[in-house]
């Protein structure tokens, strides 16, 4: 059987430095599927992410990997069916929890095709793997792993057992990670604006391609989130260009809502259009007031 050659676009440049996110995952479960897709989504959103591409590992976790965990602001733990069978993954988990406790590192657990209860209570495949560890390892070491699994599984995270579209789920997780990072780093607002611009462009292309109302509604929602971020930025300045950008985005939303109402003639859609029109008038007045040196928002 021909050996699998990983896609060249997946392997990041080495050495990896100045990362914000560390990915902990079981390579044989998710390296070329979920983890590669999440890494790509984070990269698109300009999130510097560390991913370990060593296919062969020794008995102990390497100092460079411990440092990579320690340097991260946020760690993502992708619990998969065979995560617990890797002593390397379990040592990563212990180190991540140590960084959370000592340095406030953010932890995002993802339960990929595994029930969170199995991780928390070490049942199912997790029970089998840990029993095997107990035959070969020091019992205190295995107990440390058990406690780490139970603790990590109690944090709020993402359950991938459902039937939702995986590509959409990956994008949602990437945005959640981005927002968590923005809450603790400078320059977060500008990065969020740029990210939502990219997402809005993708939604626009999809809406134009399909022409259905669901995609139009998703575009409107994304543009509204973008407009709110631009408005947040505008509140700190009197720059007419910045305010003009806010107004242009809201006017685009109003145009889309009008197009939607013309297709549905739904009373609720009409009321929504009127509310947006009033909000546009409000922004226009505020822009005018700013030009004259008054601030109303």
The mean pLDDT value for 72-80 works out to: 97
Is the preceding peptide bond at 15 cis, omega within 30 degrees of 0? yes
3-state helix/strand/coil string of 242-295: HHHHHHHHHHHHHHHHHHHHHHHCCHHHHHHHHHHHHHHHHHHHHHHHHHCCCC
**Long-range CB pairs of 62-71, under 8 A, 24+ apart, other chains included:** 65/92, 66/95, 68/16, 68/19, 68/22, 69/22, 69/24, 69/95, 69/96, 69/99, 70/95, 70/99, 70/103, 71/19, 71/22
- Alpha helix ranges (H) inside the chain: 27-30, 34-44, 63-71, 87-103, 116-121, 125-136, 139-153, 166-182, 188-210, 213-234, 240-264, 267-291
pLDDT of residue 163: 55
pLDDT at residue 197 tops 80: yes
pLDDT at residue 33 tops 70: yes
| DSSP code for 183 | T
Sorting pLDDT into bands at 50, 70 and 90, what band is 8? very low
DSSP SS3 for 171: helix
Sorting pLDDT into bands at 50, 70 and 90, what band is 1? very low
pLDDT at residue 7 tops 50: no
pLDDT of residue 20: 94
Find the catalytic residue in 92, 134, 228, 286. Answer: 92
pLDDT of residue 183: 75
Cβ neighbors of 248 (< 8 A, separation 6 or more) are none
Sorting pLDDT into bands at 50, 70 and 90, what band is 81? very high
pLDDT of residue 167: 84
Q: What is the pLDDT of residues 120-166, one digit of tens each?
A: 999 999 999 999 999 988 899 999 999 999 999 999 999 988 656 78
DSSP SS3 for 75: strand
Q: What is the mean pLDDT of the chain?
A: 87
**Residue 134 catalytic?**
no
Q: What is the pLDDT of residues 224-244, one digit of tens each?
A: 989 988 988 888 888 889 999
Q: In whole angstroms, what is the distance from residue 30 CA to residue 76 CA? A: 13
């Amino acid at each position: 059987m021909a050996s699998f050659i990983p896609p060249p676009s997946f392997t990041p440049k080495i050495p990896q430095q100045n990362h914000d996110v560390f990915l902990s995952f079981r390579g044989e479960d998710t390296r070329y599927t979920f983890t590669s897709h999440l890494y790509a989504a984070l990269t698109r959103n300009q999130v510097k992410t560390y991913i370990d591409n060593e296919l062969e590992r020794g008995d102990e976790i390497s100092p460079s990997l411990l440092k990579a965990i320690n340097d991260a602001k946020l760690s993502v733990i992708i619990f998969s069916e065979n995560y617990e069978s890797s002593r390397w993954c379990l040592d990563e988990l212990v180190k991540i929890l140590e960084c959370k406790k000592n340095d406030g590192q953010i932890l995002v657990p993802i339960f990929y095709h595994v029930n969170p209860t199995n991780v928390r209570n070490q049942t199912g495949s997790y029970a089998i793997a840990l029993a095997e560890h107990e035959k070969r390892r020091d019992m205190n070491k295995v107990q440390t792993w058990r406690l780490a699994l139970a603790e990590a599984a109690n944090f709020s995270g993402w359950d991938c057992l459902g039937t939702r579209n995986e590509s959409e789920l990956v994008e949602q997780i990437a945005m959640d990670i981005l927002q968590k990072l923005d809450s603790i780093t400078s320059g977060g607002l500008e990065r969020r604006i740029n990210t939502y611009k990219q997402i809005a462009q993708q939604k626009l292309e999809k809406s134009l391609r399909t022409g259905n109302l669901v995609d139009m509604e998703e575009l409107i929602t994304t543009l509204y989130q973008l407009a709110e971020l631009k408005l947040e930025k505008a509140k700190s300045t009197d720059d007419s260009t910045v305010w003009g950008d806010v107004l242009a985005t809201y006017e685009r939303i109003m145009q889309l809502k009008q197009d939607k109402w013309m297709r549905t003639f739904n009373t609720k859609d009409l009321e929504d259009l009127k509310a947006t029109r009033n909000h546009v008038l409000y922004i226009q007045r505020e822009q005018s007031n700013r030009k004259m040196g008054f601030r109303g928002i």
